[in-house]
Amino acid sequence: MTSWTSEKWNEFCEFYKGKKVLITGHTGFKGSWLSRMLANAGAQVTGYSLNPPTDPSLFYIAGLSDTMDSVIGDIRDLAHLKEVFLKTQPEVVFHLAAQPIVRDSYKDPVYTYETNVMGTVNILECVRLTPSVRSFLNVTTDKVYENKEWEYGYRECDPLDGYDPYSNSKSCSELVTHSYAKSFFSEGGTAISTSRAGNVIGGGDFANDRIIPDCIRAASSHEDIILRNPHSTRPFQHVLEPLSVYMTIAMKQYEDASFQGYYNVGPDDKDCITTGDLTDLFCEAWGQGMKWVNRFEGGPHEANFLKLDCSKIKKVFGWTPRYEVKEAVEKTVEWTRAYLDGEDMLQVMDGQIEEFFNGKA
Which pLDDT score, from 0 to 100, does residue 232 have? 85
Which pLDDT score, from 0 to 100, does residue 149 have? 74
- Residue 262's identity, in one-letter code, is Y
Which pLDDT score, from 0 to 100, does residue 299 have? 60
How far apart, in whole angstroms, are the C-alpha atoms of residue 7 and residue 27?
Answer: 28
Q: For residue 160, how many C-alpha atoms fall within 13 Å in the half-sphere facing its CB?
A: 23
Which pLDDT score, from 0 to 100, does residue 300 have? 60
Q: For residue 3, give the nearest of 330, 328, 248, 352 by alpha carbon.
A: 248
Asked if residue 131 has a cis previous peptide bond (ω within 30° of 0), the answer is: no
How far apart, in whole angstroms, are the C-alpha atoms of residue 241 and residue 233?
Answer: 19
Q: For residue 84, give the nearest of 54, 125, 36, 135 by alpha carbon.
A: 125
User: By the 8 A CB rule, do 174 and 230 touch?
Assistant: no
Q: What is the mean pLDDT of each run of 10 residues along the chain (361 residues)?
A: 69 97 97 98 98 94 96 98 98 95 89 96 98 98 85 88 92 97 92 94 92 94 90 90 97 97 92 93 94 75 72 94 95 97 97 90 44
Which pLDDT score, from 0 to 100, does residue 198 have? 84
Q: How many other β-carbons are positioned within 10 Å of the β-carbon of residue 61?
A: 18
Which pLDDT score, from 0 to 100, does residue 36 have? 98
Domains present along the chain, CATH in parentheses? 6-199+236-269+306-325 (3.40.50.720)
pTM of the model: 0.94
Which pLDDT score, from 0 to 100, does residue 360 have? 63
Which pLDDT score, from 0 to 100, does residue 2 have? 40
